[in-house]
Structure 1
Amino acid sequence: MRIAFSPVYRYALPPNHRFPMEKYSLLPEQLLYEGTVTESQFFTADPLPEDAILRTHTADYWHKLKYLKLSRKEARTIGFPMRPELVARGRVIAQGTLDCARYAFSDGVALNVAGGTHHAFADHGEGFCVFNDIAIATNELLHSGEVKQVLIVDLDVHQGNGTASLFAHEPRVFTFSMHGARNYPVRKERSDLDIGLPDGCQDDVYLDTLRGHLPGLLDGIAPDLVFYLSGVDVLESDKLGRLSVSLGGCRERDRYVLECCRERGLPVAISMGGGYSERLATIIEAHANTFRVAASLYD
């Protein structure tokens, strides 16, 4: 089991920003401390090359990012002031997700400590997302011929609107998003399968809904690779989530997704996605559970 992590993941945003950047350094430390993983399992990705960026994002958008030409309105839509370090960070994260996909072919599963930037569209970013890492990795694997069919399982509490838009007319990619129906984004794109959950949705309804759809998708689509966005903003404690899933329920969700894929021999590349609970320790615990489940099933 290989894990993508780089010091650039920890790049600090302006003080008092609500995005919890500390989790990117604390999560690997916790996993190492408890013995879930070892240092040898971590790898650092190189920056994503420009040709890979341009297979997913427009030349105009990339030019604005590269030369810091985003307007104030465009930067506000992303959610933070654009800096060279954030652009560099996004390139490393995206390459990390691509590398994880390739490791998953041999290992069964690989995880990126960051990623899940599913609100980035071809021509702009939104919701803390600059590049769309899963879309970039998917397009690269299709371009190289390493895969012919991909399934994206997006279980972040927010709909993967950028991902849905990017693959709206791509039959080789099936996008499945299970999210809060009344949560961000207000204007949702159309995934191949969207399931909107009501505010306050608890473990039983959440897990039953997932169990009612995932096996049929895996069997019907028969993908060469599954990308799994394992956001932990579904938790009841999450400040932005509006659902009521427990820590145990979130862990069972991860176990179910990975067991379903492992039983079918389907490689899985995991990106962490969002998590905005009041206590940082809750965010770390929920994300750590994803790694713990993966280690228990694949190591």
Structure 2
Amino acid sequence: PIYSQLELPEGHRYPIMKYQYLYESVLVHMEKDNWKEHTQFFQPEALTVGEVKRVHDEEYVELLVSGNMPAAKMRRIGFPWSESLITRTLTSAAGTALTAKKALEYGVAIHLSGGYHHAHKEFGSGFCLFNDL
């Protein structure tokens, strides 16, 4: 999944591969426990910057997506800036919204990412760029 497709510096403390491992584990259990016929995977389309600006401060969003966020604020987030970080984050936030819609449609849905609750309206924190809750 795109959620694990983020190159981080060697020794970075964020366990970015956990999303890939979770996906692989689900695939194993789908086969082992006969879930295959009852399971679907959906790939979310990334949120647009305009959609994010509806809930986050415009200046914060612009600084972040343009790569012009001050270094101290990026340190608070905990990730080095990259285009893939922005794409991954916009896709993950879209995945949370899609999961809510699918839960209403099917009665249950699971998102392999999401829960980025440390982000505030005007700043990111704790590995969270945008709050998706």
Q: Under a length normalisation based on structure 1, what TM-score does the superposition of the two structures give?
A: 0.41
Report the counterpart of residue 195 of structure 1 in structure 2: none
Deviations 1:89-134 (A, max 9, x none): 0000011110111111121221110111000011110000011111
Cα distance in 1 between the residues matched to 2:112 and 2:29? 16
Letter in 2 for 1:78: I
Query: Matched residue pairs, number?
Result: 128
Report the counterpart of residue 3 of structure 2 in structure 1: 9
- 1:105 correspondence with 2:104: yes
What is the alpha-carbon root mean square deviation over aligned residues?
A: 1.5
**Equivalent residue of 2:110, what SS?**
strand
Cα distance in 1 between the residues matched to 2:114 and 2:56? 16
Report the counterpart of residue 272 of structure 1 in structure 2: none
Cα distance in 2 between the residues matched to 1:8 and 1:95? 12
Cα distance in 1 between the residues matched to 2:13 and 2:113? 16
After superposition, residues 135-284 of structure 1 pair within 5 angstroms as none
Q: Under a length normalisation based on structure 2, what TM-score does the superposition of the two structures give?
A: 0.89
Cα distance in 2 between the residues matched to 1:115 and 1:122? 17
**Equivalent residue of 2:55, what SS?**
coil
Q: Which runs of 4+ in 1 moved over 4 A?
A: none
Query: Relative contact order (alpha carbons < 8 A, sep ≥ 6): 1 or 2 greater?
Result: 2
* Structure 2 residues not aligned, in runs of 5+: none
**Equivalent residue of 1:73, what SS?**
helix
Report the counterpart of residue 221 of structure 1 in structure 2: none
Letter in 2 for 1:45: P
> Once the two structures are aligned, what percentage of the paired residues are identical?
38
Cα distance in 2 between the residues matched to 1:133 and 1:12? 22
**Equivalent residue of 1:33, what SS?**
helix
Report the counterpart of residue 131 of structure 2 in structure 1: 132
After superposition, residues 24-39 of structure 1 pair within 5 angstroms as 24-35=19-30, 37-38=35-36
Higher strand content, 1 or 2: 1
Cα distance in 2 between the residues matched to 1:102 and 1:16? 37
**Equivalent residue of 1:42, what SS?**
coil
The structure-2 alpha-carbon separation of the partners of 1:92 and 1:131, relative to structure 1 and needing over 3 Å to count, comes to same
Cα distance in 1 between the residues matched to 2:127 and 2:36? 30
Higher helix content, 1 or 2: 2
Report the counterpart of residue 279 of structure 1 in structure 2: none
Report the counterpart of residue 54 of structure 2 in structure 1: 55
- 1:22 correspondence with 2:20: no
**Equivalent residue of 2:84, what SS?**
helix
Cα distance in 2 between the residues matched to 1:20 and 1:66? 23
**Equivalent residue of 2:93, what SS?**
helix
Letter in 2 for 1:23: K
Deviation at 1:51, TM superposition (A): 2.3
Query: Which entry has the higher C-alpha Rg, 1 or 2?
Result: 1
Deviation at 1:26, TM superposition (A): 1.1
Deviation at 1:72, TM superposition (A): 0.9
